[in-house]
Structure 1
Amino acid sequence: MITKFNTIKKSRFIKNVLMVMSGTALAQIITFSLMPIITRLYGPESIGVLGTFTAVVAILGPIAALTYPIAIVLPKSDRKSRSIVKFSLLLTLVVGLIITVILLLAAEKVVNLFRLDVISSFIYLLPLFVLVTGLSQVMEQWLIRTKSFKVTAKTAVLQSIFMNGLKVGGGLVYPLSATLVIIQTAGVLFRASLMFFMSDKSIVNRSEKHTIEDLKEVARENQDFPKYRAPQVFINAVSQGLPVLLFASFFGPAVAGFYALGKQALNTPSQLIGKAVQNVFYPKVNELANTKRRITPIIIKAVSGLLIIGIVPFGVIILFGPMIFSFVFGNEWIIAGEYARWIAIVALSMLITRPIIVAIPVLSIQRQFLLVEIVGTAVKTGAILTGVFFFNEAIFAVALFSIASVLMYLYLIILTLFVSRRFDQFNKSSGTLDIG
């Protein structure tokens, strides 16, 4: 037992997970500690507007660089990774300009078409958010590649202090939804800037020349990301943001605020553990694959471990959600606690799927992932609309959406483990195997 403990203690993987987790934990503690103040300053409607804006920008996030930044971790050479960095930043700039032109020409039509009246006043912030999101994605993946987990931890804490401190200060002076939206946008830019200035600057190499042909080459080599991963992440963001968007449209911003708060509160354990494991797990599983070692055991261990860790906090919310939310956030948020009971089931499923998600590009099954996401989004959308139109109750929409989400996550886990076993068998036999 002592020998096993010492082995775990010396494990670089465990140390990296704990390092990222500690930063994420402190960031989430700061966020969660200030949320009771923020909810009392702004109220459900303002939180609902922020939730709607956040849902829209989450949908636009995958478009920013078409998920090319995820490929930064994969190449063996830093030079090729820097080519992906430059291509991703260039793509982000082009996409940002395109969205700007569209809004300048037809902002009102866009608002009416997608029923975005709730955030119509902030519509011109969307191109800026796309730009800073693309920059943030690039820096995050470069830090993962260079295993700069200490920087990742520090920036998470500083961003939380920056954003939540401003929300409290702004709420004391101007407790408006505009205050929350502007601070949210500034927070992403602040984090991206911190990641760059606190990194070792290896992302920049002035002696290297990256030609148009170099950029075309990395674009071709990683074309699975815009073809399969970007649509998948986009569709996933749509399915995750649909409840907030539909609630704001059919029931008003207050109901959207209840759901948004429940979701944000339950993201605390998911971000605390899942993101830390994901950031460290990605280069680890990629390294195992590159050296022809088995990856299925580490995936199973990661999924099982996250299930054991997550079942306690989420179980408490399932049992006592309304009581906890009314006590922590104020009596007017008791409805959010009812929603949180169902959201907790989805949050637990999302948590245990973190290792599965990062294994997907390593296994080259992004096409299958996209198909699963398309089917899953259709099922989840149907579940929400059933709750809206047949029951005319938000709680039914939340419940049906949650059940559909859990079923799709379970299917994705089974599919990925099946492919990973075939992948391991292929490496062991040194034969050829088509896993597409």
Structure 2
Amino acid sequence: MSPSRSLSSLFKLPSGTGFYASVTRLATGAALAQIITVAAGPFLSRIYGPANLGLYAAYLSVVTTAAGMSCLRYEQALMLPDDRSEANHLWTLVLALAALSSSLAVPALLTARAMGWTGKLATLGPAIWLLPVALAVISLGLAAGVWANRNRSYSLLSVSRTAAAASAALTAIGIGLLVPSGPWLIFSHVLGQAVLSALLFFGIRKSQLPPVTGASASELKRVASHYRQFPAYNFPMTAVDQITGALPVIVFTESFGLETAGLLSIAFQALRLPGAFIGNAVAQVFYERASRIRKDLPALRSLTLKTCGLLSLAIILPALVITLWGPSLFSFVFGPRFAPAGDLARLLIISTSAGFICSPISMLPTVIGRQGGHFLIALIAASLRALALWLGARSGNPSTTLAWFVAAESIGLLIFAAWVLHLIRPTHSSSP
């Protein structure tokens, strides 16, 4: 095959019935949700200011990390059962774990407050009790989202995300005009997540949403044992990955103050737009497709390379714009107080672009049953991130700290991508 033909094949959209339509439905919903979020951003930044946004970012870093681990990662296994009955039992197990984790959050928060471990979140006062509520609705929403993805309910996912974004944005702006405080900003997010979870649960067709009763203890124990790789490998890997992923905001909050953390959170939020608009939609459809062809390694590798090639083309223009005009763009969109966030974005765009391109392959080790190796690589990447933040914080300079983090994050992504591509390489028997 000629080089030009190879390149054309690499960047060709993945083929297959429904792939384009599925990505389009998810991307449309993601686009609408992000348009709402982007449209609200300039208002929220001017209403609340960097300090309140920093407090909101600290809340998000805690609650999203906890929610990602609340079901011991069994929710990610929902895509895999071929048998409908087994999938139903697994779904019941996931809901039970979400309820248990949410109930345990109350004594955990009591202990954290008594020991003085809440840091800057202590400034929330009574509103700190929004954290267990947020954990409950986000955990249920994550589980319902995976179930909807399993059943290819892409339109439902799109509508639910759009409604959630609209609810959160309108509430935050409306209340902020009267009482511009961090707790009310957090309340608006909890409300949006509650809307998302409710729509997903009640919107999935009855033929697709299994009953939450009817699974015996022995059946739940059996599916828990059958998919034990998820809590054994995927859970600790996710815990390490999410905790260290939340560290930048936590380190900036405690080391450089809420205002600097607010600038960082705005930079993160702006740079996640391509991922929310295209990357997540592509990744979800990719995961469903990869789960079905996981035994055909050549087809899986072809799908992976073509999907990552598409995303690499999509990120070029946003990366160029941020690099050339970051501070001016942030000042214009979010207000003059947020111009320094543009300088932070110039650094972040490096690792953000790499993460965007690699987003579809993040679940490939789960699909092909190599979670043990994934955990080891996650430990290496997490250690690099933690070390980078520690070294940067010692410098006392936010930009230096972020530069260290970006370098560590990029190296970790390169190691992971190289390992995954090695796993799905085509094998050829040697010819004499």
Q: TM-score, normalised by structure 2?
A: 0.92
Matches within 5 A, 1:177-196: 177-196=182-201
**Residue deviations 1:28-73 (CA, integer Å, cap 9, x gap):** 1111111001100000000000000000112212221011111111
- Please say if residues 355 and 413 of structure 2, whose CA atoms lie closer than 8 Å, have aligned partners that are also in contact: yes
Structure 1 position 335 matched with structure 2 position 316: no
Does the 8 Å contact 1:107/1:123 carry over to 2?
no
State yes or no: 1:405 paired with 2:391: no
For the pair 1:47 / 2:53, whether they are aligned, the reply is: yes
Matches within 5 A, 1:271-310: 271-290=276-295, 294-310=299-315
Structure 1 position 199, deviation (Å): 1.4
The answer as to whether partners of 1:346 and 1:402 remain within 8 angstroms in 2 is yes
Which residue in 2 is equivalent to 1:60?
Answer: 66
> In 2, are the aligned partners of 1:323 and 1:334 still within 8 Å (CA)?
yes
CA deviation map 1:95-122 (0-9, x unaligned): 222221233355221525x675455654
Q: Distance in 1 between matches of 2:17 and 2:101?
A: 42
**Over the residues paired in the alignment, what is the CA RMSD in angstroms?**
2.3
Residue 76 in structure 1 maps to residue 76 in structure 2? no
Answering whether residue 250 of structure 2 is matched by residue 264 of structure 1, we say: no
Partner amino acid for 1:202?
Answer: S
Question: Structure 1's 159 and 205: CA in aligned 2 closer, same or farther, altered over 3 A?
Answer: closer
2:358 matched to which residue of 1? 353
Structure 1: gaps spanning 5 or more residues: 430-436
| Structure 2 match to 1:251 | 256
Q: What amino acid maps onto 1:417 in structure 2?
A: L
CA contact (8 A) 2:32 2:162 kept: yes
Instruction: Summarize the Cα distance change of 1:61–1:319 in structure 2 as closer, same or farther, 3 Å threshold.
Output: same
Does structure 1 conserve the Cα–Cα contact (< 8 Å) formed by 2:73 and 2:230?
A: yes
Would you say the 8 A contact 2:244–2:385 is kept in 1?
A: yes
For the residues of structure 1 that align with 2:363 and 2:342, how far apart are their CA atoms?
Answer: 31
C-alpha distance in 1, partners of 2:14/2:416?
A: 29
Structure 2 residue aligned with 1:200: 205
Q: SS where residue 82 of structure 2 aligns?
A: coil
- The corresponding residue for 1:88 is 94
Instruction: Quote the Cα distance in structure 2 between the aligned partners of 1:199 and 1:33.
Output: 29
Match of 2:222 in 1: 217
User: Do 1:73 and 1:142's aligned partners in 2 also have CA atoms closer than 8 Å?
Assistant: yes
Between the two proteins, what is the percent identity of the paired residues?
A: 27
Alignment correspondent of 1:107:
113
Question: Any stretches of 5+ residues in structure 2 without a counterpart?
Answer: 1-8
- The alpha-carbon distance between structure 1 residues 155 and 205, as it changes in their structure 2 partners (threshold 3 A), is closer
Alignment of 1:141 with 2:146, yes or no, is yes
Once the two structures are TM-superposed, the CA of residue 243 in structure 1 deviates from its matched residue by: 1.0
Report the CA distance shift for 1:106/1:175 in structure 2 as closer, same or farther (over 3 A): closer
Correspondent of 1:25 among 31, 49, 56: 31
After superposing the two structures, state which structure 1 stretch, 198-207 or 11-20, moved more: 198-207
Q: Which moved further from structure 2: 356-365 or 97-106?
A: 97-106
Q: Given that residues 249 and 264 in structure 2 are in contact (C-alpha distance below 8 angstroms), is that contact kept between their aligned partners in structure 1?
A: yes
CA–CA separation in structure 2 for the residues paired with 1:399 and 1:118: 29
Q: Which amino acid aligns with 1:337?
A: G
The number of aligned residues is 420
**TM-superposed deviation, 1:127:** 2.1
Partner of 2:318: 313
Kept in 2: contact 1:52–1:119 (CA 8 A):
no
Cα distance 1:327–1:120, how it changes in 2: closer, same or farther (>3 A)? same
Amino acid at match of 2:99: L
| TM-score between both structures, scaled by the size of structure 1 | 0.91
Partner of residue 396, structure 2: 392
2:239, 2:286 → 1: CA distance? 23
In structure 1, give the amino acid aligned to 2:281: A
Q: Which amino acid aligns with 1:26?
A: L
The answer to whether the Cα contact below 8 Å between 2:55 and 2:120 also exists between their aligned partners in 1 is no
Query: 1:350, 1:122 → 2: CA distance?
Result: 33
2:409 corresponds to 1:414: no
